[in-house]
A and B are shown apart, each in its own frame.
Chain A
Amino acid sequence: MKIRANLAIGGGLTVLAVFVGLFGPWLAHTDPIMDANLMNAELPPSGDFWFGTDQQGRDIWSRVMYGAQISLAVGIGSQLLNTVIGTTLGVTAGYWGGWWDDFVNGLTNLMLAIPSLIFALAIMAILGPGLTSLLIALGLTNWSYTCRISRAQALSIKSQGYVQAARVLGYGDLRIMFTQILPNTLGPIIVIATLGMGGSILAEAALSFLGLGVRPPSPSWGSMLSDARETITTAPWLSLFPGLAIFLTVLGLNLLGDGLRDILDPQSRSRR
């Protein structure tokens, strides 16, 4: 019963976010950047402007719709990077062992030793603001859990009969990793990636809020909140909607991840 509620609400919110991300330009009423009109500055929500307007008279509804693209691009892109790095390192380390395993272990411990937001902030400070920098900063700093799990799976699977059999049949290392080991690690990895996507979206919003993420005037939810802070007394609705968008998107991904874990990764409780 509870499992289905997780999946249904989480899946629904995630589908909604992806829908907005894909069709944002059609859902928006105006251009999120160009349609500034000081005559309309700081109007409260109304029939014309569903979420109100900002200091420059831009329609908040349109900006929130467009903002989904940035959040989802960063969330999906950075998690793809993390997943590829984490599984590649983890599976090869578990399968080959030896010095490579020691090296990967050391690297994983180092990554775990640095708070990830601080690490991302350092990279943003060096690379400068922008979407590419964000993808790099968030995509290179959060692979340690994926790596740990896929290494553990590879370790336990490589001594199984069917992997031995594949080796006897003359399968190469790469083929064994791809066809025998990887499919067996997929469940937990999908769960981590889903939860990680929520984390990345929160981190992007935080970095953009600090002015280190996406450059204004791009309608990132985080930087919209940063602008809204200055008008909180005169136009509080500016702070409400972008934050709500972040919250619902991340909530959806977290619920979906929890629901998927119950299905895909039933042993997770004994491991944690």
Chain B
Amino acid sequence: MLGFVIRRLLQMIPMLVAIALLIFVLFSVIPGSFATGQQDEGLGLDMAVVARMRAELGLDDPLYVRFGKYVQQLATLDLGVSFRSRQPVIEMIGARMWPSLKLTIAAMAFAIAIGLPLGFVAALRPGSLMDLGLMVIAVSGLSLPKFWLGILLMYLFALTLGWFPSFGYGQGGLSHLVLPALALGVSPMALLARTTRAAVLDIMNADFVRTARSKGMNEYRVVVWHVLRNALVLVLTTIGLQFGSLLGQGVVVEKLFAWPGIGSLLVDSVFQRDIPAVQGCILVITVFFLVINTSVDIAYKLIDPRIRYT
């Protein structure tokens, strides 16, 4: 078991290097990238500034030297210095991390609280009107643009009813969190409802459930003891994977609600052409995704000993 965990963690290393390489290549090799594009756009930068940017980025060094330096920096958690604020990027991201995590956790909590029971109830009566209705909600949830839902929520609950503030972070209280979390949480909620329904349906038809029923076990016990426990293994994976990707999906919602998270930092930095900050944000969001996915993989194995990896 310990061997598996260590092996799985070690597998992350080549992936991390590959991700770093990809981000590096994207932002420094392709012609017409930020630094060179400055002049073309006629943003009024003079040659001295461009030359300074080139020197700062080390654009005149050979590629492998630049990548070596980049990895060396990353290894010491140095993401460079922002072009705009002259602050270390890691500090800027650090300040944004907690709001983003809070939003992600709140959205996931909403998704679990609604999606899990919905999927479960639908699976208990497959083909019923209730099932159909719940699945219509689920497909709709997956087709809604998050930012549109956000606008609608903002209009209804903030501007018309005045129940919640329309945007911003406030003092970090709960009231500012509700609307963005709802907007972000609807698609994982829908996905979770579908996964739960499929998982429960699959297990309802399994041999061991039929055996349990035929030996006279009462339905409540069958559902709680056999079905629920087995379905949860599958559902937990979906929860984990969704949680990992929400930080990236949150970009649009954060921007809409002026939420001071890593997503809005990323978008602002793109518009300010602040390469180190853009690279840093993308790297952090991707690494978060990777770490969560790996943890889900490990947890999956810990929860369900039947799963064997080769």
Contact = CB atoms under 8 A, between A and B. Distances in A.
A123 interface: yes
Interface residues of B, number: 49
A205 B286 CA distance: 22
B85 interface: no
Contacts of A117: 248-249, 251-252
A125 B84 CA distance: 17
B19 A110 contact: yes
A113 B147 contact: no
B148 A239 contact: yes
B256 A206 contact: no
Given A202-B145, A209-B147, A115 B248 contact: yes
B245 interface: yes
A239 B143 contact: no
B285 A251 contact: no
A74 interface: no
A59 interface: no
A236 B159 CA distance: 11
Contacts of B247: 115
B211 interface: no
Contact of A115 (B15, B26, B286): B286
B182 interface: no
Contact of B145 (A5, A113, A236, A247): A247
B307 interface: no
Interface in A218-253: 222, 225, 228-229, 232-233, 236, 239, 242-243, 246-247, 250-251
A47 to B, nearest CB: 25
Interface string B265-293: 01100110000001000100110011001
Contact of A198 (B27, B143, B270): B143
Nearest to A209: B147
Contacts of A118: 248, 251, 266, 282, 285-286
A216 interface: no
7 contacts: A115-B285, A122-B282, A209-B147, A233-B159, A243-B151, A250-B143, A254-B142
Given A125-B278, A126-B26, A209-B252, A243 B18 contact: no
B139 A121 contact: no
B202 to A, nearest CB: 7
Given A2-B127, A229-B151, A211 B271 contact: yes
Contacts of B255: 210
A85 to B, nearest CB: 16
Interface of A: 1-2, 5, 106, 109-110, 113-115, 117-118, 121-123, 125-126, 128, 198, 202, 205-206, 209-212, 222, 225, 228-229, 232-233, 236, 239, 242-243, 246-247, 250-251, 254-255, 258, 269, 272
B129 to A, nearest CB: 11
A126 B30 CA distance: 8
Given A113-B19, A122-B26, 13 more contacts: A110-B19, A113-B286, A117-B248, A117-B249, A118-B266, A121-B282, A125-B270, A128-B37, A206-B147, A206-B251, A206-B252, A247-B144, A254-B142
Given A109-B15, A122-B26, A211-B271, A236 B155 contact: yes
Interface of B: 15, 18-19, 22-23, 26-27, 30, 32-34, 37, 127, 132, 139-140, 142-148, 151-152, 154-155, 159, 198, 202, 245, 247-249, 251-252, 255-256, 266-267, 270-271, 278, 282, 285-286, 289-290, 293
B19 A2 contact: no
B139 A251 contact: yes
Nearest to A242: B148
B127 A269 contact: no
Nearest to B202: A269
Contacts of A5: 132
Given A115-B249, A118-B251, A110 B22 contact: yes
B27 A210 contact: no
B278 A115 contact: no
B290 A113 contact: yes
A211 B32 CA distance: 19
B251 A121 contact: yes
Contacts of A246: 145, 148
Closest 9 CB pairs of A and B: A115-B248, A243-B148, A251-B143, A250-B143, A125-B270, A118-B248, A206-B252, A239-B151, A110-B18
A228 B151 CA distance: 9
